[in-house]
Structure 1
Amino acid sequence: MRLHRNLVFATLDALSEIFNEGAYADKVIAKTLKRDKRWGARDRGFIAETTYEIVRWKRLYAEIAEVKEPFDRENLFRIFTVWATLRGIKLPDWPQFEGTPTRRIKGKFDSLSKIRKMRESIPDWLDEVGVAELGEKTWEKEIAALNQQAPVLLRVNTLKTTPEKLQQLLKEEEIIVHKIKGYPEALQLEERANVFQTQAFKDGLFEVQDASSQLVAHFLEVKPGMRVVDTCAGAGGKTLHLAALMENKGQIIATDIYGNKLKELKRRAKRAGAHNIEPREIDSTKVIKKLYNTADRVLIDAPCSGLGVLSRNPDAKWKLQPEFIDNIKKTQAEIIAKYSKILKPGGKMVYATCSILPSENQQQVEFFLASDEGKDFKLVKDQKLLSSETGFDGFYMALLEKKE
């Protein structure tokens, strides 16, 4: 691989924004890729993948490069040099690469790799939380899995097509996908590609959605004609899946505290041909109270630490703080207590998170069932998905039933 100056500089600019200004990696990368119209797919791929990789291994690379935050341009170049050296990339004779201590870099990598928090490039506090909640052995496997690049998964929109037809259509657009056993609507890309440019995407034939996330709507056991409330709908990935499983029959009320996310949901629903979704912004407590005792099914895809999706959001490792996890657990407990009241007697509810921590998952469900609000509920089943076991996102879901 030959390094091109403008691509390296664009990568360093992106890293500076992410590390020094606290910007979100996905937004910075999307903006950076629009900088030069002459860049081809390979150039854009280099910037995106290199940026993500250096974000993922920030602590390890900075330690090897012997630099501390905030990183100035020279320090970012030193971190980039560590990345390139460890990847075996031949360094061009630019002044910034002069005197690179290749052997020392490799030696430091070998010795630091013996320490888990360095090897997996995570903050001390996160390593401690992982061990405390999952145990040494499971955490070791899980954090290693969460440091792998996430695969790209599509969810076939069964309102408009079938997995077989979509597979064929994408093949015509030179994108090869294959089915995955146990995930009925999922197709996995063999190679990363910009699927949003395809005609199939513009026609609403699929959404990009991880395989673990695709199990949540199935877990809720919806049927056509039901009244379903998706309480933390966001931009609606799971809402759209519910609409497809309900064959557009019945009603889905999609609520969220962020109106801009519901606008995006409306746009996506139109493209997907999902007509049974009604977005409602939670701008006061009345919105939820009006729904009490009215739904056959309730989905609570609760806000969480997001530790199960680190492979696709590596910058979350550096943004997340221990206080946030403590606060989000309080929010989860409040949400489940309040939103469970939406369910009719005899109805079913799913509590789900994209976290791997038992304190956000099983323990929240146990806490709810032991509370006043949860006394009429029973746990039907739950499922814990670990990245180290599935190769997909870490997730948790619990199906609860309200007594008749």
Structure 2
Amino acid sequence: MNIRQLALQIIHDVDVKQAYANIALANMINRNNFSDQDRRFLTELVYGTVKAWGTIDWIMSRYVDRPPAKIPPMIRNILRLGLYQLFFLSKVPPSAACNQAVELAKKYGHPGTVKFVNAVLRSAARNQEKAKYPTKEEDLLRYLALTYFHPEWLVSRWLKRFDSEAVERLLQENNKPPRLSLRTNTLKITREALLVRLAQEGVTCTASDWTPEGIICHELPALASLTSLKEGLFQVQDESSMLVAHVVDPQPGEFVIDACGAPGGKSTHLAALMKNTGRLLSVDLFEHKLAITRENARRLGITCLETLQTDAATLSDQFSGKADRVLVDAPCSGLGVLRRKPDSRWRKTESQLQDLPKLQLSILTGAASCLKPGGVLVYSTCTTEPEENEMVIREFLSIRPDFSLQSAGSRLPSPRQGEFVQLWPHLDFVDGFFISRLKKH
């Protein structure tokens, strides 16, 4: 089994078919019985190459006289994979990186492209100084973007908001693998009992400092092998995401709407806090995502949850003035969770930050009309950008004076100051998340 060839297939699908690297990799691993060593190497090749995409293309430009877009896609990705090994994997001998790339070129190219791949990689192996980055003093923006594998437009945005040391720490944190965190299903087990159970199943884990249900996993066997997962004793969920339901603070017996609910992490958390009583409506545009929500609810033993396929912006047509609480976990740029999706940083554009707030405000406005007087509205995103966060809330309040801002920070399990909650990977060591809370008069 040629691990490099399998890695190339995934990288090519990410490039040409817009596949998601994390999903494509998981599917490949599930279809094959890899050794631990092969699984780790495949993961390193795929995630590393995709995460360093922009930097690798810049390196390629030092040795190739045409832009990557002008190179046939499979050959382009063979070069990316080879250059990643040459420049970023010190344990791979340069000869192995070059020879294996040439073999792949023979399989997917013709004699001319084989010579091309061989010449480019041999030149890069002999003269790596040619691809030396500019220093901080010479070009701070390009230095940070190339060193830490982020698009220049995004680094530039953050440099306008923060000093260079803070930006560098954020970029570094975005490149670290995120910790796996679990949310205890308190309908079935306590966190203390789940910690004992997980230890018996070979998981090294500790309690989260952020939430009373959270557990941080440090070492564990394959997640799917855990009987505690099959029995519905926990849900995989990031710590910052777990905070949202606590800010909503749903009460048993209430009618609660999760307006952008799939695939159900926050919806099932809300249900647990409601003690599986009342009515919880989880809404999404896509039925296949709602199917995952229903499956999660079934596994967790939740019966108060129902799903509805519709546009959240039109919810008030059916539920005007009926809900006690509404959560809008809005579609967003996802710039707070770049460490979880290695390809996403290269898919984002600055123009999205102009288009998304219109959608976010539309959903927020439609969902807000579902609330009774005295009802609670919580708006959250997994992004760090003010256009999608505070500015959306300020715009909403300007058109809905019947709502007022409440302190979201005071509702956290470990309260903090501030009307808004904005979490950062480099400051809080969780996913970047924004949470706000409003009340209808």
TM-score (structure 2 length as normaliser): 0.83
2:50 to 52, 55, 60: 55
Q: Structure 1's 292 and 138: CA in aligned 2 closer, same or farther, altered over 3 A?
A: farther
Q: Which moved more, 1:300-309 or 1:173-182?
A: 173-182
1:83 alignment partner, SS class: helix
Measured in 1, the distance between the counterparts of 2:135 and 2:126 equals 14
Deviation sequence 1:166-207 (CA, Å, 0-9, x none) = 222222221211112132111111136421221111111111
Matched, 1:185 2:185: no
**Offset at residue 332 of structure 1 (A):** 0.7
Q: What corresponds to 2:19 in structure 1?
A: 23
Measured in 1, the distance between the counterparts of 2:50 and 2:401 equals 42
Matched, 1:87 2:115: no
Q: What corresponds to 1:207 in structure 2?
A: 235
Q: What corresponds to 2:405 in structure 1?
A: 378
Q: What corresponds to 1:393 in structure 2?
A: 431
More helix by share: 2
Q: Structure 1's 134 and 229: CA in aligned 2 closer, same or farther, altered over 3 A?
A: farther
Q: What corresponds to 2:396 in structure 1?
A: 368
Q: Structure 1's 286 and 150: CA in aligned 2 closer, same or farther, altered over 3 A?
A: closer
**Counterpart residue identity of residue 49, structure 1:** E
Mapping of residues 299-338 of structure 1, within 5 Å: 299-338=327-366
Measured in 2, the distance between the counterparts of 1:234 and 1:60 equals 34
Measured in 2, the distance between the counterparts of 1:265 and 1:42 equals 34
Matched, 1:251 2:279: yes
2:377 alignment partner, SS class: strand
* Count of paired positions: 397
**Offset at residue 142 of structure 1 (A):** 2.5
Measured in 1, the distance between the counterparts of 2:309 and 2:316 equals 10
Q: Structure 1's 193 and 322: CA in aligned 2 closer, same or farther, altered over 3 A?
A: farther
Mapping of residues 71-82 of structure 1, within 5 Å: 72-82=73-83
**Counterpart residue identity of residue 359, structure 1:** E
Matched, 1:343 2:379: no
2:253 alignment partner, SS class: coil
Q: Structure 1's 63 and 355: CA in aligned 2 closer, same or farther, altered over 3 A?
A: same
**Counterpart residue identity of residue 131, structure 2:** K
Q: What corresponds to 2:412 in structure 1?
A: none
Q: Which moved more, 1:312-321 or 1:355-364?
A: 312-321
Mapping of residues 117-132 of structure 1, within 5 Å: 117-132=145-160
Matched, 1:36 2:54: no
Query: Whose Rg is larger?
Result: 2
TM-score (structure 1 length as normaliser): 0.90
Measured in 1, the distance between the counterparts of 2:335 and 2:125 equals 34
Contact 2:321 2:370 in 1 (8 A): yes
Measured in 2, the distance between the counterparts of 1:89 and 1:74 equals 24
**What runs of 5+ residues in structure 2 fail to find an aligned partner?**
102-117, 408-418
Q: Which moved more, 1:191-200 or 1:271-280?
A: 191-200
Mapping of residues 226-237 of structure 1, within 5 Å: 226-237=254-265
**Counterpart residue identity of residue 318, structure 1:** W
Contact 2:4 2:45 in 1 (8 A): no
**Counterpart residue identity of residue 310, structure 1:** L
- Let me know the Cα RMSD of the aligned residues: 2.4
Q: Structure 1's 133 and 21: CA in aligned 2 closer, same or farther, altered over 3 A?
A: farther
2:263 alignment partner, SS class: coil
Measured in 1, the distance between the counterparts of 2:356 and 2:369 equals 20
Measured in 2, the distance between the counterparts of 1:244 and 1:311 equals 28
Q: Structure 1's 106 and 367: CA in aligned 2 closer, same or farther, altered over 3 A?
A: same
Measured in 2, the distance between the counterparts of 1:26 and 1:335 equals 28
Mapping of residues 121-200 of structure 1, within 5 Å: 121-132=149-160, 138-191=166-219, 193-200=221-228
Measured in 2, the distance between the counterparts of 1:52 and 1:193 equals 20
Q: What corresponds to 2:114 in structure 1?
A: none
- Identity across matched positions, percent: 29
Q: Which moved more, 1:25-34 or 1:229-238?
A: 25-34
2:158 alignment partner, SS class: helix
1:108 to 120, 131, 141: 131
Q: Structure 1's 153 and 106: CA in aligned 2 closer, same or farther, altered over 3 A?
A: farther
